Amino acid sequence: MKSKGRTVGLLGAVSIGIGGMVGGGIFAVLGEAVSLAHGATAVAFLIAGVVALLTSYSYAKFSVRYQNRGGTVVFIDNAFRHNLFSASINMLLWLSYLVTISLYASAFASYGQTFFSPGSSVVLKHVLISVAILLPSLINLVSASFVSRSESVIVTIKISLLVVIIVSGISSVDLDRLSPVHWEGSLGIITAGMIIFVAYEGFELIANAAEEIKNPVSNLPRAFYGSTIFVILLYVLISIVCVGTVPEEQLLQAKDYALALPQNLPWVRPDLS
C-alpha cells in the first residue's frame, strides 16, 4: 500500500504504543500485584505481558486489514455488524476506559499526597484526582500538536524515571526475596496478572493511527510487537527491582504509591539502619 499522505514512521508508531502503555498503570497496580503474588510479582507481570503480546498479534492483523482511526470500534463493527450486540460491546469498551481513567487519577492522587505531610486531608486527595482529570482535558482542547508534544515529554520523563530506578537498584536486588518460597499460589499469581493487564493497555492506540503510518503492512506489526516487548521488559525489571530491594511489608503498607518509596528513588537516601 502506498505511503502517500502518511506521516508516521516505524519509530513514531512504536512511540505511540509505548506512550499508550506506560501511563499510570505501572504506578497504580504494582503495590496491588505485590499483595497478590508476593515474590512472584515479576512472573505475574510476565504472564500479563504474554497475554498483551498475543492480543497485539490480533490487533496487528486487524489493523492491516482495517486501517481506520476508529480502531477497536471498527474491528468490532466489522466482526458483528452494526447491531445491538456490537453497540453493547463498544459501550463496555467506553466504560472500561472510564474505569481506567479513574484508576490513573486515583494513583496520581496517591503519589501526589507523598509530597505533603503524612495524614493529609481527604479533600487534598480529591483535589489531586480532579487535577488529574481536568488538566489532560484542558490540554486536549488546545491543539492536536500540543497534545502530541505534551505526551512525548511526559512519557519521556516517566520512562527515564523508571530506567533510573532499574539501573540504580538492579545491583542491590536480594534474589532470596524472589525465590519460589515467597511465591503465592497459582491462583494468586494469575489474579495478579489479570489486574496487571491494565498496565499494558494502550498498544491499541497504534490501530487508531493506522491511516497515518507509513508502509502499514510491515510497520504496523513491528510497531505492535516492538512496543509491547519493550514494555514487558521494562515492567518485569521494575517489579524485580522493587520486590528485590524493598521489604514486602513496606510495599504492602504503601501499595497505592509503591514506586514512591525512598528505596526506589536513588536520589533519596533512606535510613536503613
All three cell numbers of 97? 476506559
Positions in the chain whose pLDDT score sits under 50:
1-2, 267-273
**Spatial separation of the C-alpha atoms in residues 49 and 40, rounded to whole Å:** 14
Asked if 244 and 175 count as a contact pair (C-beta separation under 8 A), the reply is yes
DSSP string over 8-53: B-HHHHHHHHHHHHSSSHHHHHHHHHHHHHBTTHHHHHHHHHHHHH
Q: What would the pLDDT profile of 105-140 be if each residue is shown by its tens digit? A: 888 888 888 888 776 678 888 899 999 889 888 887
* Per-residue pLDDT, 262: 58
Q: What would the pLDDT profile of 207-222 be if each residue is shown by its tens digit? A: 988 988 999 999 999 9
Question: Which class is domain 10-79+144-264?
Answer: mainly alpha
**Spatial separation of the C-alpha atoms in residues 73 and 87, rounded to whole Å:** 9
